[in-house]
Amino acid sequence: MIYESKKRSIAKAISYRIIIITLDFSVIYFITGRLSLAFGFMIASNLYTSIAYFFHERLWNKIKWGLETKPKP
């Protein structure tokens, strides 16, 4: 059986969020030209979406659909 550890889920969430944080900040700053607004939006948005992503990943680990195991060579 394939199992993903909590540490792996956290590492994936962090790496993904770094990309999203950069994009969020850049887009909001480009649209508004206001650093404080871009920074505030980035913090709020990424706090709750990072938590949601972690639980989303953990839920998908319980779903067997699409998982395959390969025999060891």
pLDDT at residue number 35: 95
pTM here is: 0.57
Which is it for the CA torsion 2, 58, 67, 17, positive or negative?
negative
CA distance linking residue 31 with residue 38, whole number of Å? 9
Structure tokens at 72: 């060891």
Q: Distance (Å, rounded) from C-alpha 24 to C-alpha 48? A: 14
Q: pLDDT tens digits for 14-49?
A: 898 889 889 989 999 999 999 999 999 988 888 888
